[in-house]
């Protein structure tokens, strides 16, 4: 049980370590080994083990997507894992099996549902289409739009469900009260186009605006507290927006590792990340190429400019001028807006009838400024001669400031108006106080009107008119309730006109509408008609329209995104005063989505400049957050600062809007609650709370700083470790080169060669019986054979004894002998098919292996394409196959050369596991490979030698497991019938084993090895586990043979450039020989041939 304990411990260690994906992956194959092992031993009924095994398999199934395997490998592994899980879970408990089945069903269902749900993701296909045409930058705009759309939907639901619908259902119906009725003399004009256009008439007295909502504290039978709901929802809109924005930002920043500012891979990113793989449109590809060339050139220029100093005077002057211009235009636009608002007030007071233009000039001017100023900034930016990226940033900042300035000047002007409105209101109130019935609210209103109209004096009238002006035009008539009707004889106007909230809401909605119209117009004009013009008149024009002046419209991502942000800012600003604004915005965004996507696809070309904005970029969101904050300010300010209108809206009659909360608390909650709230809101609690918050912020910030620091240090450490590692490897390689040179003289005489050769043979049989490398000379072969024949009798003792400690070199020698013996056996098994009765069976088995490992084979095909000729195809899969395992071994050995199992080598193992060794095998390592045979003699590596025998044994003893891991267990049993048979597969196993071992150190450690085959393997196991864990880096001796094989096949082993031939050469040779042998043995081994053919069918057809 010792091994199992060890394995458990190891697993726990593994669990505790961070589940790095490479690492997980590295565990996988070993994991399979484990399971098969358990399966095979059968008697290991330890439920804990089985449970862990199942957990492994489940892990594997969950993460199979993350593994860099080929599809076939994945499928195979998945299938296997499923089988195991099913089997063992069935063994543990029956219910568990049912659970698993249920989970499986559920998973399938979820998957189906997910696929189904995709249909309902709005505009998914549209966005993907755009993405595939224009790249991810443009698509990010649409994704952002969609996201905003989602937010607006939620906002709409919030306002709709809690404000609008209750008001519609339970509130007093239209016309029942003064604030819900169109004034009498305006009924006639209520349906005029310009009234509707300026959102007057029926629209003004609808749920669209604040003024319509009743002031009753409770409405309906259920007693819904509408005013409270109104206030709370108004606040919740902001709260929700903040939360969702911050959440999204946090998620994004978690996703992107780009936070480290000091790591700057300018050129790398420009080269490796520049191409947008989504681009599938030639034009987009062209412009992308141009953009990449530009960006690379820029980077080069920058790099060069870093070195040389330049004359800055002119540029500085220009920049100063440009900034002054920008500031001027900003100030101009702000002044313009303020002026227009002011003028509209004056106009309204001086004229009774306003033209359409005069009514809408505010919004039109704002939209015009919004549209034109960015272009002006663009022109100005050309003066500055900044780097394009800097230019873009400046541009964005300026546009953002402009938008904000616009919104702010607008809202300030509006609030100014509100201010004067309320003062006026107060004045009229005072004036009318002497009138008859001041207690009745409406009476005072009408009274004030009457007085106003009865006093025609220019002085007072002017003043009043100036404040009341907007309402005069837009919201005049008012039908009086009966009680007041007799009193107010003459024109009774605008009792509820003082509804400044409605006014603000109207303005915001108007602005939003006009902004939408301007957007549509600009899309049509600037993009569509320009595109038409350029496209169809290009042939008849004196210059090339497409490439010279007008060109096609570019899709300016940054500005469009800013526009969206601005638009959303308007919504936030106005949502409190016009609850339906989010709903309107939803419609607007839908329209915008369709129009924009259409315009982009039909008449835009992608932006030339590279604008790095992607989903994982917080840039848009940061702007949006900024906007949200700034838009919230004026609204909050208005709510806090101004008194709600007296005769309209849910808060009429209160001092402040938020009084509704305290009022509710006082009246509708128990007394203790009120007192608690009182305490909580007292400075005694608030001040410490604020202090606490500050402390918390400071604390978190300092933690973040220290984390950043430690992050940096860790990175440094990693880098250091890596470079040290490399140095050590280099030193080692050098040392080996030296020893190699020394021993190369001795080499031919050395008996190692024979073992090497036998190894070569052993490789060959596994692929196709007794094939020997043609590259190796016949004499060598003979020697190898003799060695093989000499050795067979004594493998067992040789293998049995190694656990006993022996002095360094002699031990390694012995161990090598043992190796040789074993190998010899295997070769002989391969070589002397005729003599062995069971060999066909073995071959069958082999074929099965091939069957079960199609992917393996594929990898080899990759190695030597020349073999794929039609006539020779019969043997193709085999030749390469025999080659590839060797490859693994080579790599294996390489990785072990690195004595310190830092994370660096691990990664290489990972690569190895992929099977694409050819690509992965580094040159230096290959060189190292060639030195391997001498390792036994090299003095520097004595410690390795000491470890070597044991390791060797481990290896041998473990083969079956690994084989199992890679092939179906049943096959294994077939092969295990006799010793001679098992030995041959063993090689295979070994190779696969290496592969699996690469993947995880723990693979071989745990389970008892297949029992019936070799009892001795068990004996060793316990002793061997620890060294294996630690001493991973070495299996060199065994590997050296493989190395020498390749050495034999290639003329110059030390030449790095020969790497490819190193692998390719042996396989054709083998192939040829195998053909010959096949021919010879066809009659005998028909079975095998059949298997082969099966193989081929699978692989090549």
Burial of 602 (0-12, 13-18, 19+ CB in 10 A): exposed
**Binds other proteins (CB under 8 A): choice among 293, 517, 700, 714:** 293
- Coil/strand/helix, residue 496: coil
**Binds other proteins (CB under 8 A): choice among 44, 479, 614, 1022:** 614
Burial of 629 (0-12, 13-18, 19+ CB in 10 A): middle
839-854 in b/e burial notation, b at 16+ Cβ within 10 A?
bbbbbbbbbbbbbbbb
Q: Is 368 in the site for other proteins (CB under 8 A)?
A: no
Q: Please state, in angstroms and rounded to a whole number, the distance separating the CA atoms of residues 346 and 354.
A: 11
Minimum distance from CB of 789 to other proteins (Å)?
Answer: 38
**Binds other proteins (CB under 8 A): choice among 424, 1059, 1088, 1092:** 1059
Q: What is the distance of C-alpha 381 from the center of its chain? A: 34
Segment contacting other proteins by CB under 8 A, of 370-378, 428-436, 463-471, 611-619 = 611-619
Q: Is 1098 in the site for other proteins (CB under 8 A)?
A: yes
Minimum distance from CB of 605 to other proteins (Å)?
Answer: 14
Question: Nearer to other proteins by C-beta: 309 or 1057?
Answer: 1057
Long-range contacts, stretch 531-536, CB < 8 angstroms, 24+ apart: 531/602, 531/603, 531/604, 532/603
Q: Is 911 in the site for other proteins (CB under 8 A)?
A: yes
Best CA proximity match to 954, nearest among 1097, 761, 815, 789 = 815
Q: Is 331 in the site for other proteins (CB under 8 A)?
A: no
Q: Is 456 in the site for other proteins (CB under 8 A)?
A: no
What is the three-state SS of 17-75? CCCCHHHHHHHHHHHHHHHHHHHHHCCCCCHHHHHHHHHHHHHHHHHHHHCCCCHHHHH
Question: Nearer to other proteins by C-beta: 56 or 134?
Answer: 134
Question: Nearer to other proteins by C-beta: 131 or 946?
Answer: 131
Question: Nearer to other proteins by C-beta: 439 or 1057?
Answer: 1057
Q: Please state, in angstroms and rounded to a whole number, the distance separating the CA atoms of residues 53 and 59.
A: 10
Q: Is 282 in the site for other proteins (CB under 8 A)?
A: yes
Segment contacting other proteins by CB under 8 A, of 612-620, 662-670, 784-792, 976-984 = 612-620
Q: Please state, in angstroms and rounded to a whole number, the distance separating the CA atoms of residues 34 and 1009.
A: 10
- Coil/strand/helix, residue 224: strand
Segment contacting other proteins by CB under 8 A, of 202-210, 566-574, 778-786, 910-918 = 910-918
Question: Nearer to other proteins by C-beta: 189 or 281?
Answer: 281
Minimum distance from CB of 138 to other proteins (Å)?
Answer: 12
Segment contacting other proteins by CB under 8 A, of 115-123, 283-291, 409-417, 815-823 = 283-291
Minimum distance from CB of 1058 to other proteins (Å)?
Answer: 12
Minimum distance from CB of 865 to other proteins (Å)?
Answer: 5
Question: Nearer to other proteins by C-beta: 289 or 835?
Answer: 289
Question: Nearer to other proteins by C-beta: 341 or 600?
Answer: 600
Look at the block and give the residue holding tokens 């021993």: 743
Minimum distance from CB of 824 to other proteins (Å)?
Answer: 34
Segment contacting other proteins by CB under 8 A, of 47-55, 256-264, 565-573, 930-938 = 256-264
- Coil/strand/helix, residue 680: helix
Are the CB atoms for 202 and 214 separated by under 8 Å? no
Footprint on residues 716-755 left by other proteins (CB under 8 A): 719, 722-723, 725-726
Footprint on residues 835-874 left by other proteins (CB under 8 A): 851, 854-855, 858-859, 861-862, 865, 868
- Coil/strand/helix, residue 493: strand
**Binds other proteins (CB under 8 A): choice among 281, 431, 538, 1058:** 281
Q: Is 392 in the site for other proteins (CB under 8 A)?
A: no
Minimum distance from CB of 975 to other proteins (Å)?
Answer: 21
Footprint on residues 922-941 left by other proteins (CB under 8 A): 922-923
Q: Is 119 in the site for other proteins (CB under 8 A)?
A: no
Minimum distance from CB of 396 to other proteins (Å)?
Answer: 16
Question: Nearer to other proteins by C-beta: 282 or 683?
Answer: 282
Question: Nearer to other proteins by C-beta: 487 or 612?
Answer: 612
Query: What is the size of the binding site for other proteins (CB under 8 A)?
Result: 85
Footprint on residues 17-46 left by other proteins (CB under 8 A): 21-22
**Binds other proteins (CB under 8 A): choice among 72, 674, 808, 840:** 72
Q: Is 107 in the site for other proteins (CB under 8 A)?
A: no
- For the chain, the first-to-last Cα distance in angstroms comes to 48
Q: What are phi and psi of 605, to 5 degrees?
A: -115, 155
What is the three-state SS of 608-653? CCCCCCCCCCCHHHHHHHHHHHHHHHHHHHHHHHCCCCCCCCCCCC
Q: Beta partners for 555?
A: 606
**Binds other proteins (CB under 8 A): choice among 68, 150, 808, 1027:** 68
Are the CB atoms for 163 and 233 separated by under 8 Å? yes
Complete DSSP assignment for 730-756 = HHHHHHHHHHHHHHHTTGGGSTHHHHH
Q: Is 376 in the site for other proteins (CB under 8 A)?
A: no
Q: Is 1045 in the site for other proteins (CB under 8 A)?
A: no
- The Cα-based distances of 310 to 303, 305, 313, 314, 442 in angstroms read 13, 8, 9, 10, 75
Q: Please state, in angstroms and rounded to a whole number, the distance separating the CA atoms of residues 817 and 298.
A: 64
Instruction: Retrieve residue 1007's tokens.
Output: 């389970």
Footprint on residues 261-280 left by other proteins (CB under 8 A): 263-280
Segment contacting other proteins by CB under 8 A, of 52-60, 678-686, 715-723, 958-966 = 715-723
Are the CB atoms for 833 and 771 separated by under 8 Å? no
Question: Nearer to other proteins by C-beta: 1083 or 1101?
Answer: 1101
Q: Is 913 in the site for other proteins (CB under 8 A)?
A: no
Best CA proximity match to 29, nearest among 72, 62, 74 = 74
Minimum distance from CB of 79 to other proteins (Å)?
Answer: 12
Question: Nearer to other proteins by C-beta: 284 or 561?
Answer: 284
**Binds other proteins (CB under 8 A): choice among 296, 347, 412, 636:** 296
Question: Nearer to other proteins by C-beta: 508 or 876?
Answer: 876
Best CA proximity match to 1025, nearest among 960, 953, 959, 962 = 953
Minimum distance from CB of 853 to other proteins (Å)?
Answer: 11
């Amino acid at each position: 049980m010792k091994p199992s304990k060890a394995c458990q411990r190891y697993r726990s260690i593994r669990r505790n370590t961070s589940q790095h994906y490479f690492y997980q992956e590295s565990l996988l194959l070993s994991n399979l080994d484990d399971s098969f092992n358990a399966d095979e031993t059968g008697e290991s009924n330890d439920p804990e083990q089985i449970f862990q095994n199942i957990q492994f398999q489940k892990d594997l199934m969950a993460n199979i997507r993350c593994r860099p395997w080929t599809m076939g490998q994945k499928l195979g592994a998945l299938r296997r894992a499923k089988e195991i899980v099913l089997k063992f879970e069935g063994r543990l408990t029956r219910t568990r099996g049912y659970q698993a089945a249920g989970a499986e069903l559920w998973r399938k269902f979820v998957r189906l549902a997910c696929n189904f749900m995709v249909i309902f993701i709005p505009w998914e296909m549209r966005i993907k289409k755009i993405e595939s045409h224009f790249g991810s930058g443009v698509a990010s705009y649409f994704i952002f739009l969609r996201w905003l759309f989602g937010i607006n939907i939620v906002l709409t639901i919030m306002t709709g469900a809690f404000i609008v619908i209750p008001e519609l259902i339970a509130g007093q119906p239209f016309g029942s009260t003064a604030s819900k009725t169109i004034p009498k003399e305006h009924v006639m004009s209520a349906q005029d186009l310009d009234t509707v256009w300026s959102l007057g008439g029926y629209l003004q007295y609808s749920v669209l605006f604040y003024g319509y909502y009743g002031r009753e504290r409770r409405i309906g039978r259920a007693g819904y507290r509408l005013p409270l709901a109104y206030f709370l929802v108004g606040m919740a809109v902001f709260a929700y927006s903040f939360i969702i924005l911050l959440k999204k930002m946090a998620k994004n920043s978690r996703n992107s590792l780009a936070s480290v500012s000091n790591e700057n891979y300018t050129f790398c990113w420009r080269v490796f990340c520049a191409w947008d793989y989504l681009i599938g449109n030639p034009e987009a590809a062209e412009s992308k190429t141009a953009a990449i060339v530009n960006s690379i050139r820029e980077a080069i220029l920058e790099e060069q400019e870093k070195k040389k100093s330049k004359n800055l005077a002119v540029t500085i002057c220009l920049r100063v001028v440009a900034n002054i211009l920008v500031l001027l235009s900003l100030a101009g636009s702000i002044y313009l807006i303020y002026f227009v608002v002011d003028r509209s007030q004056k106009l309204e007071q001086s004229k009774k009838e306003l033209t359409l233009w005069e009514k809408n000039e505010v919004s039109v001017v704002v939209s015009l400024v919004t549209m034109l100023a960015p272009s002006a900034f663009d022109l100005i930016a050309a003066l500055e001669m900044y780097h394009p990226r800097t230019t873009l940033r400046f541009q964005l900042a300026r546009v953002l400031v402009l938008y904000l300035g616009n919104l702010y000047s607008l809202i300030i002007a509006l609030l100014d108006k509100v201010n004067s409105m309320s003062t006026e209101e107060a004045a009229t109130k005072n004036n009318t106080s002497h009138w008859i019935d001041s207690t009745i609210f409406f009476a005072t209103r009408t009274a004030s009107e009457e007085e106003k109209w009865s006093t025609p004096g220019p002085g007072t009238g002017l003043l009043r008119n100036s404040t009341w002006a907007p309402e005069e035009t837009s919201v005049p008539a008012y039908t009086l309730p009966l009680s007041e009707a007799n009193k107010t004889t003459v024109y009774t106007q605008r009792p509820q006109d003082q509804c400044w909230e409605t006014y603000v809401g109207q303005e915001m909605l108007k602005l939003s509408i006009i902004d939408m119209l301007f957007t549509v117009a600009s899309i049509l004009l600037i993009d569509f008609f320009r595109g038409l013009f350029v496209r169809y008149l290009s042939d008849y024009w004196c210059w090339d329209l497409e490439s010279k002046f007008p060109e096609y419209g570019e899709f300016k991502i940054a500005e469009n995104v800013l526009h969206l942000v601005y638009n959303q800012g308007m919504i936030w600003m106005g949502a409190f005063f016009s609850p339906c604004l989010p709903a309107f915005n939803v419609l607007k965004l839908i329209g915008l989505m369709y129009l924009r996507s259409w315009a982009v696809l039909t008449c835009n070309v992608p932006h030339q400049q590279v604008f790095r904005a992607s989903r994982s970029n917080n840039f848009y969101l940061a702007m949006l957050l900024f906007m949200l904050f700034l838009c919230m300010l004026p609204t909050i300010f208005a709510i806090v600062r101004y008194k709600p209108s007296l005769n309209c809206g849910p808060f009429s009659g209160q001092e402040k809007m938020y009084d509704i909360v305290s009022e509710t608390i006082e009246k509708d909650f128990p007394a203790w609650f009120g007192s608690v709230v009182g305490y909580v809101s007292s400075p005694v609690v608030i001040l410490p709370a604020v202090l606490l918050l500050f402390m918390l912020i400071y604390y978190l910030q300092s933690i973040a700083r220290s984390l950043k620091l430690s992050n940096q240090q860790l990175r440094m450490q990693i880098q250091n470790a890596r470079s040290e590692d490399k140095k050590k490897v280099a030193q080692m390689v050098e040392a080996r080169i030296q020893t190699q040179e020394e021993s190369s003289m001795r080499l031919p005489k050395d008996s190692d060669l024979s073992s090497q050769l036998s190894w070569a043979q052993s490789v060959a049989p596994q692929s196709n019986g007794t094939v020997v490398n043609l590259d190796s000379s016949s004499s060598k072969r003979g020697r190898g054979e003799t060695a093989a024949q000499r050795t067979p009798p004594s493998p067992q003792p040789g293998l049995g004894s190694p656990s006993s400690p022996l002095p360094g070199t002699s031990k390694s020698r012995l161990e090598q002998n043992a190796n040789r013996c074993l190998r010899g056996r295997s070769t002989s098994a391969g070589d002397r098919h005729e003599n062995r009765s069971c060999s066909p069976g073995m071959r069958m088995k082999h074929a099965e292996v091939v069957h079960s490992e199609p992917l393996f084979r594929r990898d080899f095909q990759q190695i030597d394409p020349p073999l794929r000729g039609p006539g020779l195809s019969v043997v193709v899969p085999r030749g390469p196959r025999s080659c590839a395992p060797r490859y693994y071994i080579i790599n294996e050995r390489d990785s072990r050369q690195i004595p310190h199992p830092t994370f660096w080598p691990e990664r290489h193992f990972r690569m190895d596991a992929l099977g694409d060794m050819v690509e992965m095998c580094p040159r230096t390592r290959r060189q190292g490979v060639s030195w391997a045979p001498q390792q036994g003699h090299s003095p520097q590596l004595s410690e390795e030698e000491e470890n070597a025998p044991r390791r060797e044994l481990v290896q041998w003893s473990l083969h079956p497991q690994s084989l199992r891991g890679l092939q179906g267990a049943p096959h294994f049993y077939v092969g295990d019938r006799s010793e001679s048979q098992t030995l041959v597969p063993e090689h295979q196993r070994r190779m696969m084993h290496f592969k699996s071992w690469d993947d995880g150190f723990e693979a071989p450690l745990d389970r008892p090895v297949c029992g019936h085959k070799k009892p001795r393997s068990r004996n060793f196991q316990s002793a061997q586990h620890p060294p294996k864990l630690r001493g991973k880096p070495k299996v060199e001796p065994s590997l050296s043979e493989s190395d020498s094989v390749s050495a034999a096949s290639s003329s110059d082993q030390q030449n790095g450039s020969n790497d490819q031939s190193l692998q390719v050469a042996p396989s054709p040779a083998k192939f040829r020989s195998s053909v010959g042998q096949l021919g010879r043995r066809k009659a005998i081994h028909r079975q095998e041939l059949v298997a082969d053919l099966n193989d081929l069918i699978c692989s090549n057809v």
